[in-house]
Amino acid sequence: MPHEPLSQADVLLEGFLALDTPEGFRAELIEGEIIVTPPPDGDHEDYISVILKQVIRHATTDMDFSGNKGLKLRSGGACPKNHAIPDATFAPTALRLYRSAEPWMPCEGVALVVEVTSSKPAADREAKRHCYARGPIPLYLLVDREESSVTLFSDPEGDDYRQHCTVPFGKAVRLPEPFSFDLETADFI
């Protein structure tokens, strides 16, 4: 019985899923492009740590955290599903989303994703923002090291977020429910 030929999107997804990246590197499939990033530097990890400690201390809902769990997200157009690994993912503990044995999980139930800009800041500012909005992931926090700012994107609709609030490092940004606290950014300076 003849097999149906694979589409270009299927071939791309199959190739992506078969990648064997070096230890510490991350491979993501974002809007039809395979993006490989090197291991994060110390400042990058410090920013994630600052955010994690505040969420654990102040969030009004118990949150689970992952810095390694990949998310399957809808893509725009004929591209295969996006496969992103946020620098930080927060989901209500009651949902126990991270228990999946699969390396790529659906994004339903994720409350917040965080990206800290690194070697490919344009992907974090644009392409990933659109992927997360399509999730729809309610909150996307972008720590932009080149701009020395933090932007909270909220209220996803279609391919983007309808609201965003940008503050310079040193100012607090309000995280709404289910977090309900002001994230302090003074330690980013």
Question: CB of 111 within 8 A of CB of 139?
Answer: yes
- For residue 128, give Cα distances in angstroms to 93, 99, 102, 131, 148: 24, 24, 21, 5, 19
pTM: 0.90
Cβ(125)–Cβ(150) below 8 Å: no
Can you tell me the distance from the alpha carbon of 35 to that of 44, in angstroms, rounded to the nearest whole number? 18
- pLDDT at 14 exceeding the cut of 60: yes
Q: How confident is the model at residue 2 (pLDDT cuts 50, 70, 90)?
A: low
DSSP designation for 101? S
Distance CA 118, CA 42 (A): 11
Q: What is the pLDDT of residue 88?
A: 97
Domain regions of the chain by residue span: 8-188
48 touches 100 (CB < 8 A): no
Q: Which CATH number fits domain 8-188: 3.90.1570.10, 3.50.50.60, 3.40.50.720, 3.40.50.1100?
A: 3.90.1570.10
Return the minimum-mean-pLDDT range out of 20-24, 61-65, 75-79, 169-173: 75-79
What six digits make up the tokens of 65? 């955290």
3 state SS of 115: strand
